[in-house]
């Protein structure tokens, strides 16, 4: 848990705005990466990969949706990569859901050093994956801040 400064609150608010760009009718997650000079490096929201048709039929069938959806955190990483932007020592802000262990691995691999998330009722529902993410972050020195 943690107390956020005004910049953390601003970037978490931006991640919340980005989450509204998702076409998923049941879950909107947004992510923003920020560099050491407080510059926005990339953004991402949960959705289908570029060029994949995001039809209502696919979004309303959970099994199909989960096969297609890219998480917001990974989309922020992919978008930075797509434009040639390094995320080394960046901060990641996530709004909507806690970070799953699969996204945690990507966060670690690109060099993000700080993660700020909004406290979510979903923390309990995703308990095992979130716990693994926290363990990996602790082991690799990534600071996780959960907004109270």
Q: Which residues are annotated as a binding site for Zn(2+)?
A: 71, 100, 103
Distance CA 25, CA 13 (A): 20
Which residues share a beta bridge with 43?
32
Report how far apart the first and last C-alpha atoms of the chain are (Å, whole number): 6
- Specify the residue for token string 């040639």: 84
Q: Which of 39, 73, 102, 135 is catalytic?
A: 73
- What residue spans of 20-121 are helical by DSSP H? 56-60, 62-68, 72-82, 101-110
Q: Please give the Cα distance from 93 to 8 (Å, whole number).
A: 8
At 44, list the tokens: 């991402």
**Nearest C-alpha neighbor of 37 from the set 91, 80, 74, 85:** 91
For the question of residue 135 being annotated catalytic, the response is no
- What are the binding residues? 71, 100, 103
Query: Cβ of 56: how many Cβ atoms within 10 Å?
Result: 9
Which residues does the annotation mark as catalytic? 73
């Amino acid at each position: 848990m943690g107390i956020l400064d005004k910049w953390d609150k601003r970037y978490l608010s931006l991640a919340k705005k980005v989450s509204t760009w998702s076409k998923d009718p049941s879950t909107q997650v947004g992510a923003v990466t920020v560099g050491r000079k407080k510059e926005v490096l990339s953004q991402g929201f949960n959705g289908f990969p570029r060029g994949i048709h995001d039809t209502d039929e696919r979004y309303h069938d959970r099994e199909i949706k989960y096969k297609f959806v890219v998480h917001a955190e990974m989309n922020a990483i992919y978008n930075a990569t797509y434009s040639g932007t390094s995320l080394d020592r960046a901060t990641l802000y996530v709004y909507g859901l806690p970070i799953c262990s699969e996204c945690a691995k990507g966060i670690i691999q690109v060099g993000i050093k700080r993660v700020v998330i909004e406290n979510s009722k979903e923390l309990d529902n995703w308990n095992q994956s979130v716990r693994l993410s926290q363990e990996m972050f602790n082991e690799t020195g990534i600071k996780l801040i959960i907004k109270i």
